[in-house]
Amino acid sequence: MVEIMSITRSDLLFDQQHIWHPYGSMINPSPCYPVEAASGVKLYLTNGQSLIDGMSSWWAVIHGYNHPYLNASITQQLKKMSHVMFGGITHSAAIALCRKLIEVTPEALQCVFLADSGSVAIEVALKMAFQYWQSIGKIKKKILTLSYGYHGDTFGAVSVCDPNNSMHHLYQKFFISHLFSPTPQCRFNEEWNEKDIIPFSTLLEKNANNIAAVLLEPIVQGAGGMRIYHPTYLKRIRELCNVYDILLIVDEIATGFGRTGKYFAYEHAKIVPDILCLGKALTGGYMTLSATLTRRHIADTISNGEASCFMHGPTFMGNPLACAVAEANLFLLEQNNWKTQVKAIELHLKQQLLPLIKLPSVADVRILGAIGVIEMHNLVNVVQLQRKFIKYGVWLRPFRNLIYLMPPYIIDLKSLNKLTEAVISILS
């Protein structure tokens, strides 16, 4: 058995010289903090320091780290098999997970496609939309989406990210250009203004014959700027898609499984999508896995088309370990009474963070469910700010002009208070 050794200075130097980290530079890499272990809501560094995680490891670890129930689900599955190809084979872990996903989503969503990651779920959804129209003899090449949207890092997903205001603007000249409506202006708790939907409605009406699908993040736009918009905007989009017979793809990868105070964020608008993309918290942050759900008539239309099947099949599709822990994660979500957990986090974030709007450096404060966002007037120095957070014993990773918190649902009040106190102290 290979023994896992502590990280040495030599290891860190090797990491710096040879390992590419997310959105990182090999010439001028940002500092990386070596984590030895993780448990509950804490990350343990090799120097003995512990940090309270306010990021849920990019919004995925909703039940905390090293959870005994989730550990057991993987261990039990590992004794049977870690992986088996999904082509021509099925297994109980995938069946149990898909049965649960159909149970927790609207009745109209009956067909589940399992894949590797959130970005791939978006790729699958886009291909479903294009192949659906092709199967009924129509070629529609455009996706209508929102400015400041973010849907992942793979090629198709990048093509539907904002071409001007996202981290992917460098690649836009390589894509078919899609359609981008101005981002919604009505905030979540403000009075709805019907004028907010006019730019989207105008763009949709003008291009309806060539639009395969509308794609958006429901209620909360994530990495594109952490904007939180009015549920009626999403409701109007569903109505417009119905009028013009256009598919609606909802990207719940970041918002799904309770993060906004609803099981899925689209529930705030009481709508049902045609295609639903899930990821991140699907496995409780244990393993990479995504699911794309669609309506029966879409799946049947694709299956009756030229190819007689849906043309996608990842090598690790339906991975038994990932499916097993995902099914256990959804069970744990219910057992832990996630609504109460998320509501408690929301209440604390509002009490502690909303007063920061009075600071001259702060442009806005936005809170919904277990999401807290502080928008600064100016870009922040991420490296410098993160170093300060670590001195306070917390792990937060700002980006651009945003400092945000998305803690695990299981976080206790003392730990949550330490997170907000760190933000308040550093900004004040």
Active-site positions? 23, 150, 251, 280
Find how far residue 357's CA is from the centre of its chain: 26
Structure tokens at 269: 């608008």
Structure tokens at 371: 């999401």
In DSSP terms, 44 is beta-bridged to 37, 50
Nearest Cα to Cα of residue 189 among 259, 268, 119, 111: 268
**Class of residue 333 by CB neighbours under 10 A (exposed 0-12, middle 13-18, buried 19+):** buried
Distances (CA, A) of 50 to 6, 239, 319, 402: 15, 49, 33, 24
Q: Is 67 helix (H, G, I), strand (E, B) or coil?
A: coil
Structure tokens at 190: 């403000």
Q: How many CA atoms lie within 13 Å of 353's alpha carbon, on the beta-carbon side?
A: 30
**What is the Cα–Cα distance from 257 to 264, expressed in whole angstroms?**
6
Q: Is 306 helix (H, G, I), strand (E, B) or coil?
A: coil
**What is the Cα–Cα distance from 418 to 357, expressed in whole angstroms?**
19
Structure tokens at 152: 């992942």
**What is the Cα–Cα distance from 393 to 408, expressed in whole angstroms?**
16
**What is the Cα–Cα distance from 231 to 330, expressed in whole angstroms?**
25
CB 260 within 8 A of CB 102: no
For 63, residues 6+ apart whose C-beta sits below 8 A from its C-beta are 70, 284, 285, 329, 332, 333, 336, 408, 409, 410
Say how many C-beta atoms besides its own lie within 10 A of residue 273's C-beta.
Answer: 30
**Class of residue 417 by CB neighbours under 10 A (exposed 0-12, middle 13-18, buried 19+):** middle
**What is the Cα–Cα distance from 238 to 214, expressed in whole angstroms?**
9
